[in-house]
Amino acid sequence: GAGVSQSPRYKVAKRGQDVALRCDPISGHVSLFWYQQALGQGPEFLTYFQNEAQLDKSGLPSDRFFAERPEGSVSTLKIQRTQQEDSAVYLCASIRGLMNTEAFFGQGTRLTVV
């Protein structure tokens, strides 16, 4: 596709509900990142994939957060038993190669937990 696509754009979840957020990176991009952006803050790193391998998940805030990229293209970020503090914009970014020359970001998914 032309850019990084994320879906849904908006998600409202009841506390305790599981959610799945999808990221379609630019075709052929090797590296994929997930970031979490709280209101009024900068994005914070969650996890990184190189093709299908999850090489860094040091930013995942708890074991309720899980990400996968099984075929090295589309990625899903899953949050189990959502809590109010999970409310944020979740951003996906992809990079063509292995070095961070330019990260292309999607528009994000705004998650609101009520």
Q: Which residues bind other proteins (CB under 8 A)?
A: 3-4, 31, 33, 35, 40-45, 48, 50, 55-56, 58-59, 91, 93, 99-100, 102-108
Give the nearest distance from C-beta 2 to other proteins in angstroms.
12
Q: Is the peptide bond before 8 cis (omega within 30 degrees of 0)?
A: yes
Residue 17 Cβ, how far from other proteins at the closest point, in Å?
A: 26
Among residues 93 and 113, whose Cβ is nearest to other proteins? Answer: 93
Handedness of CA 14, 24, 43, 58 (dihedral sign): positive
Buried b (16+ CB within 10 A) or exposed e, 78-95: ebeebeeebbbbbbbbbb
The residues, any chain, with a CB within 8 Å of residue 84's CB and separated by 6 or more, are 15, 113, 114
Shortest separation between residue 16's beta carbon and other proteins, angstroms = 30
8 Å CB contact between 69 and 5: no
Q: Which is nearer to other proteins, 18 or 44 (CB)?
A: 44
Q: Which is nearer to other proteins, 77 or 93 (CB)?
A: 93
CB of 91 to other proteins, least distance (A): 7
Residue 2 or 14 having the CB closest to other proteins: 2
47's enclosing H/E stretch is strand 44-50
